[in-house]
Amino acid sequence: MSMPEEFESGGPLPELLLGYVSVRSQGGISALEAEPRALASAEPFQASSDDHEEARGALESVGLEVVGESRLGKTVAGPPGAFEELTGGKCVTREVLLHAEAGRERYVTHVDIVGPSQPDALGLAMAASEAAQIEGVLLERPRFLQALFPAPIPPSVSKFHLRVPDDVALLLGATAAHRQGYEGAGVTVAMVDSGQYAHPFFLAHGYDVKPAVSVVPGASPTRDPVGHGTGESANIFAVAPAATLHPYRASDSRGRLVGAITGFLRAKAEGPQVLTNSWGGDGPYPPAGPLDPWERVWALEIRDAVEQGIVVVFSAGNGSFAVEPQVPGVLAAGGVYATAGLDLRASDYASGYDSPWFEDVTVPTVCGLVGLRPRAQYLMLPVPPGSEIDVGESVADAGDSPDGTTGNDGWALFSGTSAAAPQLAGAVALILGARPGLTPAQVRQALVETAVDVRTGRCHPRFNFRAQSGPDFATGSGLVSAAAAVERALTF
Amino acid sequence: MSGPSPDTRGIDWPYLEAILEWGEGGVDPVVERWLAERGFTFLPMRAGLLVTGSTAAFEAAFGVDLEQVKPPVELEVPEALRAAVASVTIPPAREIHG
């Protein structure tokens, strides 16, 4: 079934409309009715000073503000009621199918003025009184920037790296799942992070991103001053392109993650199938004693989400030691590094340990793709231009060379277990898309039983565990293999 | 990439989270009323409340100078809440793992 090109939607009108008013042409032919060849010169369509004055008076008398003028006409702004009074028509909304940003076709809301004496052309209306010296009114139409910034396609840099979505999908075995039709459709992944910027990368790929919820008062839901949430969320879609992302911004206006627990609680209350978190605390390792009371309350809250049926993912940490990934039932996302030759080894950037607090819990559970120290510049990810990560990764730091991008191009090389968590979340979305209703324990079983064993390398030197044959503290059960996990899940 | 750290100069965040742990008596509406009267908002947790508010609200209600401390900070539970509340703690801010 084809979609209609245009239809009246009955949607709400904007409070303010903009329009162009053509003042009576001195040449005797209205600019709105002239044949194309008559447009060879603009001079006949200029209006006299007297007519300009008449028109201005008529416009202002109905409550329209003149915001710009030329020899031909005026641009005006005002409420829909003012345009209706000027024309005697009625303002209505119409949805028009257009090629909009990034070449994507979508319905765009237009405003039209309709009535017995009004022309059919969309957005065009005639003045009710000829005395106003107005030939016609054209309502402003939505316009789109023809050049996209930042670019939806990443820049080419010389440093070895992986790209989203294709490289990440391939190495995590998701491409094979996509070919079988498993793309995570119908699964909502909530992500609590620094924010979500509307990068053209997401639009160009047609990814489904719900409007972000900002949990910190005064922080805009459309901004991401750090770039972390925006960039890492691309990992979800690399693995599960048909999933729905619901971002929760937990950072303040300076990008500090001051509302992380609030974000987790808010996301949990909405009951997503997957809740992914690329953050956590840090404390002494090994810890001096049992969990603090506040940590017990917090851990119980996380455990409660799992018991509600939400698959909760936490990053293992980049050398940090925290309670979040240790909570029983949580999928703790560790790091495996794939070389250019596709050899796999434990990432020395990722935490790995046996939980001193919870029996039978090791961190990580399984792994995603994570770079190596000193700063794990590994995945080319979309970020807000000029954001903290965009700038920070473009310059040398900690003995590491710049990533080869610029500080305001909207792309940066980074990773960390922050990338592994959304990759796992994507794999979970594939599983739940294929087998809705599986419990978090079943999802975990499918991932663990099918992960690719990693036998070389060591995790972060703070823990210094060696990867070896079979499950280990460095990489858990190994690198996620998404298609195999889906296949396993289908047998439950 | 670890993001900006909130922990370097005491607590000067515009938005603070604190975890309130219920005492043995469990949930008590008196506590929620007390918090609301002092400008806090709160979300229920399985074993407590997530209390959120401004630095000024915490300083006024709990009698602490947050510029002088580093989290985690266990606040002194006011007399009016002691029957129901075991502890109130401002945890360290969580860090992103990029």
Does B1 reach chain A within 8 Å, measured CB to CB?
Answer: yes
Q: Is the pLDDT of residue A363 over 90?
A: yes
Q: What confidence tier does A104 reach under pLDDT thresholds 50, 70, 90?
A: low
pLDDT 10s digits, A158-188: 999 999 999 999 999 999 999 999 999 999 9
Give the lowest-confidence range in A49-53, A281-285, A367-371, B93-97: B93-97
B46 to A301: CB separation less than 8 angstroms, yes or no: yes
Q: What confidence tier does A8 reach under pLDDT thresholds 50, 70, 90?
A: confident
- A 10 A CB-CB count for A391 gives 16
Predicted local distance difference test score (pLDDT) of residue A57: 95
Positive or negative: CA dihedral A87, A89, A91, A95: negative
Residue A247 to chain B, least CA–CA distance (Å): 15
Contacts of B87 in chain A (CB under 8 A): 293-294
Beta strands in A273-420 (DSSP E): 274-277, 279-280, 311-315, 331-338, 344-346, 353-354, 362-363, 366-369, 379-382, 411-414
A279 to B94: CB separation less than 8 angstroms, yes or no: yes
Nearest Cα residue to A231 out of A491, A412, A79: A412
Contacts of A265 in chain B (CB under 8 A): 43, 45, 50
**Span A421-430, average pLDDT:** 98
Does A375 reach chain B within 8 Å, measured CB to CB?
Answer: yes
Predicted local distance difference test score (pLDDT) of residue A37: 82
**Span A279-296, average pLDDT:** 95
**Percent of chain B clearing pLDDT 90 (strictly above):** 69
Q: Is the pLDDT of residue B2 over 50?
A: no
Name which of A228, A254, A297 is nearest B48 (Cβ-Cβ): A297
pTM of the model: 0.77
Q: What residue ranges define each of the domains in chain A, with the CATH number in brackets?
A: 6-139 (no CATH), 162-489 (3.40.50.200)
Backbone angles phi, psi at B55, to 5 degrees: -55, -45
Name which of B16, B52, B96 is nearest A279 (Cβ-Cβ): B96
Does B56 reach chain A within 8 Å, measured CB to CB?
Answer: no
Residue A49's contacts (CB-CB under 8 Å, 6 or more residues apart) are none
Q: Is the pLDDT of residue A143 over 80?
A: no
Report the C-alpha gap between A27 and A55 in whole angstroms: 17
Preferred mutation among A261, A370, A393 to probe B, highest tally of B CBs within 10 A: A261
Contacts of B93 in chain A (CB under 8 A): 256-258, 260
pLDDT 10s digits, A380-394: 999 999 999 999 999
* Class of residue A283 by CB neighbours under 10 A (exposed 0-12, middle 13-18, buried 19+): middle
Preferred mutation among A232, A297, A418 to probe B, highest tally of B CBs within 10 A: A297
Q: What confidence tier does B84 reach under pLDDT thresholds 50, 70, 90?
A: very high
Preferred mutation among A213, A294, A307 to probe B, highest tally of B CBs within 10 A: A294
Q: What confidence tier does A105 reach under pLDDT thresholds 50, 70, 90?
A: low
Report the C-alpha gap between B97 and A422 in whole angstroms: 12
A283: tokens are 């404390």
**Span A139-154, average pLDDT:** 78
First to last CA, chain B: 5
Predicted local distance difference test score (pLDDT) of residue B38: 97
Contacts of A282 in chain B (CB under 8 A): 92, 95
Residue A192's contacts (CB-CB under 8 Å, 6 or more residues apart) are A248, A250, A260, A263, A264, A267, A275, A276, A277, A279
| Averaged pLDDT score across all residues of chain A | 94
Predicted local distance difference test score (pLDDT) of residue A96: 87
pLDDT 10s digits, B48-78: 999 999 999 999 999 999 988 888 999 999 9
The H or E element spanning position A86 is helix A80-87
